[in-house]
Structure formats: C-alpha cells, structure tokens
Amino acid sequence: SQQGEEDPQALSIQEGENATMNCSYKTSINNLQWYRQNSGRGLVHLILIRSNEREKHSGRLRVTLDTSKKSSSLLITASRAADTASYFCATQRRGTYKYIFGTGTRLKVLA
Amino acid sequence: GAVVSQHPSWVICKSGTSVKIECRSLDFQATTMFWYRQFPKQSLMLMATSNEGSKATYEQGVEKDKFLINHASLTLSTLTVTSAHPEDSSFYICSASPGPLGSGELFFGEGSRLTVL
C-alpha cells in the first residue's frame, strides 16, 4: 500500500523561481529518498536523508526531514526548464527493507 | 552510479500470451531486487521483492501465479506476466541496491512498457 502523500500534485512555475514539494508519511522510517522521473523513463535518485538527519543539500536541492511530523520537503532553487519532471519521495519503513513511494508531484518549469 | 538495465523497454503482445521482462544489475551484485508497476500519471506500486535463490515475496493483492518472478543469479531477475490481458498493460520498473538493504539509494531500470492488445 502507498505510504506517502505528496503535495502539491502538480506545480507550475517560471524559470528561476524556487519549487517546493512536500511529502508526508504514516509510520516510522529508516530513511527517506527523493527521486525524479522524466515522462516514460526510469527513476533517478536525488537525495537520501536518514531518520536521524534533519537537512541535506545537493547542488540546487535542499531536503528537510521532520520525523515528529512525519514529513519531508524538497526544495529546488533557481529552477530550470530541464527540471520539468515528476518528483517522488520514497520511504523505507523501519524494520523492513522495502521502499514505498509517495503519490508524486508533477513539476513544470516554464521557460 | 550503479547501473540497472531492463529489457525490453517496450513490448506489445496479444491477449493470452506471456511476456518476460528482464532486470539486470550491470556493475554490482544484488541479492534483492524490487519490481514496481506504474499506471499513467500515477505513482509506483511495489509488486514484489525478488530474492536470489529463493521465492519472491509478493505484496498484498498481487497474484503470484500471474506475475512470476525468478531471481536465478545475483545480477538477473525476471518478471513474467502470464496470460496477459489488457488490464495488465502498464509500465513495469525494477530496482536494486548495491549495498546492504536499507543502506543507500535504489537504482532503477529504465522501465518496460507493456501493451496488451
């Protein structure tokens, strides 16, 4: 069953603006990961954040994790048209090795 | 990063036939691989966990006789959709991790789009 809920479901912004996507989950986790998917393609890993971490950065990406609220956010700064894609969070439930994906956010960056 | 390869990338078949999809880890060994299914504009649904040398573990609601999984080696898992019907049309994606489960990122294949006529 799906564990994660993401919002917004769709987001449309202008190039250069920041994009923020949120992910909420229901149970305790080992870690949470963010992935990107271009239409009809496989998934590309963006960032992994462990349950004892609160924030991680990678280039223009910033991920936060609030385990008390069971939520995470992905911030893409200075967006580019090439960032247009679907973004998914995936959580690994504590005590298991399976990853369950959120509903995803479809981001469109307008040039 | 690690590479996972899927084949075929797309397949069209007639209703009632069986289709095999391969998932290979090209530069690492994977004792466990995961198979996901994705409908258009939807998220990935975990179908089953493929375990090398043993039976796959299926998620609730997934028919094991319909979706046969074989993980015969440390670099290859196959998903066979048996007696395919139009409702089985979907995007199937596999993933694997080079490290101990839970230690790091999953690497995904490019997916296989199945269309059943």
Sequence-separated (6 or more) residues with CB below 8 Å from residue B63: none
CB contact under 8 A, A42 and B93: yes
Model confidence at A5: pLDDT above 90: no
Q: What is the dihedral of CA A62, A90, B7, B21, to 10 degrees?
A: 180
pLDDT band at B100; cut points 50, 70, 90: low
CA distance B83 to chain A (A): 24
Model confidence at A2: pLDDT above 90: no
d(CA B7, CA B113): 10
Distance of CA A89 to the CA centre of its chain: 4
CB contact under 8 A, A42 and B1: no
Predicted local distance difference test score (pLDDT) of residue B101: 64
Q: For chains A and B, count residue pairs whose Cβ atoms are closer than 8 Å.
A: 60
Average pLDDT over residues A31-60: 93
Say how many C-beta atoms besides its own lie within 10 A of residue B86's C-beta. 9
Contact A90, A7 (CB under 8 A): no
Residues B16-69: tens digit of each pLDDT: 999 999 999 998 888 889 999 998 888 999 999 998 888 999 999 999 999 999
My answer on whether omega of the bond before B86 falls inside 30° of 0, hence cis, is no
Average pLDDT over residues A7-12: 93
Residue of A nearest to B5 (CA): A42
Contact B79, B66 (CB under 8 A): no
Average pLDDT over residues A14-19: 97
A residues 55-84 closer than 8 Å to B (CB) = none
- Mean pLDDT across chain A, nearest whole number? 92
**Chain B touched by A51 (CB under 8 Å):** no
CA distance B15 to chain A (A): 23
Interface of B with A (CB under 8 A): 1, 4, 6, 32, 34, 36, 41-46, 49, 60, 91, 93, 95, 101-102, 104-111, 113
Q: Which residues from B are below 8 Å from A41, CB to CB?
A: 110-111
Residues A66-106: tens digit of each pLDDT: 999 999 999 999 999 999 999 999 998 888 788 889 999 99
Distance of CA A104 to the CA centre of its chain: 8
Predicted local distance difference test score (pLDDT) of residue A95: 80
Predicted local distance difference test score (pLDDT) of residue A17: 97
